[in-house]
């Protein structure tokens, strides 16, 4: 009788622990998504403040669209943008997101300039542990994709250096900084990749 009671208590404790962990993971994921949406919204507002540009958020990640579509009909330019934001020391753009951006820009042949841009935002707090952060400088990097490179996962580090990941191994990948048509006091340029 006592062993049944202990077993029941142990199972209840494990269930509570599982539910608690599940709720915590959901909150973390929600925070991460909110940061991403805020960054995308900021970029859209920056583009839309300029006379010749129009920018749009294209929807949720489950739709398999780029984060942003930006067009300048006057200068015949179109950008697809993957926006990444976070508190870590590196941010990654998966190769499938690069492919879908390329697909969009390649199909709009009416535009003379068609670019895939990665917008990386490293927040002013760096995560050092569970719920623990330290202050650092907020930094933004904008990198232009080189269509001659076969898409692989791309990683941007806090210092602005970029490398590719292929089969879990680092691959030297030089992506040029791109000076955006808007001004940002937080935009940094990497010294050398």
Angle at 158 between CA 23 and CA 161, to 5 degrees: 130
Report how far residue 177's alpha carbon sits from residue 190's, in angstroms, rounded to the nearest whole number: 7
Total-model pTM: 0.79
Per-residue pLDDT of the chain (193 residues; tens, 9 = 90+): 566 665 566 666 666 665 555 655 555 445 545 555 899 999 999 999 999 999 999 876 667 789 999 999 999 999 999 999 999 999 999 999 999 999 999 999 999 999 999 999 999 888 777 777 889 999 999 999 999 999 999 999 999 999 999 998 999 998 999 999 998 888 888 765 4
Q: What is the pLDDT of residue 29?
A: 47
Residue 95: closest CA among 42, 158, 173, 177? 173
Residue 104: closest CA among 94, 117, 114? 114
Q: What is the pLDDT of residue 113?
A: 97
Residue 21: closest CA among 134, 130, 133, 132? 130
Residue 141: closest CA among 101, 102, 181, 176? 176
Q: What is the pLDDT of residue 32?
A: 47
Q: Where are the beta strands (DSSP E) in 74-131?
A: 77-86, 90-93, 113-122, 125-129
Could you tell me where the DSSP H helices lie in 49-166?
Answer: 95-107
Count the residues in the chain.
193
Question: Could you report how far apart the first and last alpha carbons of the chain are, in Å?
Answer: 68
Q: What is the pLDDT of residues 78-100, one digit of tens each?
A: 999 999 999 999 999 999 999 99
Pairing of strands 132-135, 125-129: antiparallel
Q: Domains in the chain, please, with CATH?
A: 2-172 (3.40.1350.10)
């Amino acid at each position: 009788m006592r062993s049944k009671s202990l077993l029941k208590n142990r199972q209840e404790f494990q269930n509570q622990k599982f539910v608690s962990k599940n709720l915590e993971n959901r909150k973390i994921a929600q925070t991460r998504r909110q940061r991403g949406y805020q960054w995308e919204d900021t970029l859209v507002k920056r583009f839309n403040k300029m006379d010749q540009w129009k920018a749009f958020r294209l929807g949720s990640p489950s739709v398999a669209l780029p984060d942003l579509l930006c067009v300048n009909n006057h200068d015949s330019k179109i950008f697809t943008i993957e926006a990444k934001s976070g508190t870590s020391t590196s941010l990654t753009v998966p190769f499938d997101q690069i492919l879908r951006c390329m697909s969009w820009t390649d199909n709009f042949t009416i535009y003379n300039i068609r670019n895939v841009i990665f917008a990386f935002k490293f927040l002013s707090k760096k995560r050092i542990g569970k719920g623990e952060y330290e202050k650092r400088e907020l930094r933004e990097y904008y990198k232009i994709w080189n269509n001659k490179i076969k898409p692989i996962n791309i990683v941007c580090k806090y210092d602005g250096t970029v490398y590719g990941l292929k089969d879990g191994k680092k691959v030297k990948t030089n992506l040029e900084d791109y000076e955006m048509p808007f001004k940002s006091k937080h935009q940094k340029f990497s010294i050398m990749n």
